[in-house]
């Protein structure tokens, strides 16, 4: 068993800014791809008449490869030299926003990916806002596709200032803003010679420096209510505590109504009996 709880990290950003490509190339740099996978991708890309497409590591559906977009979230366990990450590759298209929210809701940190040519676009800022709304405030920014701008420092500084100011307006402060190229593998694991003017951490070093996730019990209470049952004169809220703690006597505040209630009892029931009929135990 691992001593440290893996950090759930969501990949966020505008569609076609290279999130899946970045993760696919990082897996290659860490030697985490199955044997022969890189050669398979090279053959597949050549058949399509495109350069080696690292996004195909994650985007395995035919529709995803044809449209060059991610349709649903994909979870990948990434073992780095220093820690373990569970990376959630989330869609960037605005019509798939609910899928991105589903992935981000399970994350403790985020990697916001930005195209060096295009800069911060609509979904970049929308995803950043949703990350804050979901309580994901620990993030690293990757300025991707630096190869398309000739690895120019001036372009990176412009994008760095642009995204930094936008995040500041949202009350977010990235722990690092890192120039990278998923296509060339520049500054992912090793600094390399393509960015001689950059003195900051590589993307891998920035991710490994993120704080360890808090234990579920130390987080705010999250209890999605699955249903409301009647047991005699009582109404019982049924659900599973996803994080935080809940005890008899706790006062709960409901949003958006602003009404409050006190926990009178905690009940449990066997899986083979309907909860509204046979309550196996009740602690008051």
Q: Identify the CATH number of the domain in which residue 82 sits.
A: 3.40.50.300
Domain hosting 275: range is 217-283
Which pLDDT score is estimated for 280?
A: 45
25 and 161 both lie in a single domain: yes
201 and 228 both lie in a single domain: no
Catalogue the long-range contacts made by 251-258 (C-beta closer than 8 Å, 24 or more residues apart): 252/221
> CA-to-CA distance for 211 and 242, rounded, in angstroms?
21
- Indicate if the pLDDT at residue 51 is higher than 90: no
92 and 19 both lie in a single domain: yes
Instruction: Confirm whether 2 is domain-assigned.
Output: no
165-181, pLDDT tens digit by residue? Answer: 999 999 999 999 999 99
204 and 117 both lie in a single domain: yes
Instruction: Confirm whether 1 is domain-assigned.
Output: no
From 178, 213, 248, give the residue that closes a domain. 213
159 and 236 both lie in a single domain: no
| Distances, alpha carbon 228 to alpha carbons 61, 185, 225, 241, in Å | 39, 52, 8, 15
Q: Report the percent of the chain where pLDDT is more than 70.
A: 80
Task: Count how many domains the chain has.
Answer: 2
Q: How confident is the model at residue 34 (pLDDT cuts 50, 70, 90)?
A: confident
From 190, 213, 236, give the residue that closes a domain. 213
- Distance from CA of residue 151 to its chain's centroid? 27
Instruction: Confirm whether 20 is domain-assigned.
Output: yes
264 and 161 both lie in a single domain: no
């Amino acid at each position: 068993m691992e001593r440290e709880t893996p950090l759930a990290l969501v990949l966020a950003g505008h569609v076609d800014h290279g999130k899946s490509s970045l993760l696919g190339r990082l897996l290659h740099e860490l030697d985490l791809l199955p044997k022969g996978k890189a050669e398979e991708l090279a053959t597949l890309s050549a058949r399509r008449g495109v350069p080696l497409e690292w996004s195909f590591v994650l985007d395995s559906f035919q529709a995803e490869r044809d449209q060059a977009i991610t349709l649903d979230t994909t979870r990948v366990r990434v073992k780095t030299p220093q820690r373990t990450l569970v990376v959630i590759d989330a869609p960037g298209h605005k019509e798939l926003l609910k899928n991105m929210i589903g992935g981000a809701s399970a994350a403790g940190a985020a990697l916001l990916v930005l195209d060096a040519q295009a800069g911060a676009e609509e979904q970049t800022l929308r995803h950043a806002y949703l990350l804050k709304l979901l309580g994901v405030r620990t993030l690293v920014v990757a300025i991707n596709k630096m190869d398309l701008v000739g690895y120019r420092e001036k372009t990176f500084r412009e994008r760095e200032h642009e995204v930094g100011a936008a995040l500041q307006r949202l009350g977010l402060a990235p722990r690092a803003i890192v120039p990278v190229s998923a296509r060339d593998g520049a500054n992912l694991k090793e600094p390399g010679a393509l960015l001689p003017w950059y003195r900051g951490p590589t993307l891998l070093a920035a991710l490994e420096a993120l704080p360890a996730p808090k234990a579920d019990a130390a987080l705010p209470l999250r209890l999605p209510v699955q249903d409301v049952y009647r047991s005699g004169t009582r109404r019982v809220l049924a659900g599973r505590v996803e994080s935080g703690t809940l005890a008899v006597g706790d006062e709960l505040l409901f949003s958006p109504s602003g009404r409050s209630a006190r926990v009178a009892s905690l009940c449990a029931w066997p899986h083979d009996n309907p909860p509204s009929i046979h309550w196996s135990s009740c602690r008051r």
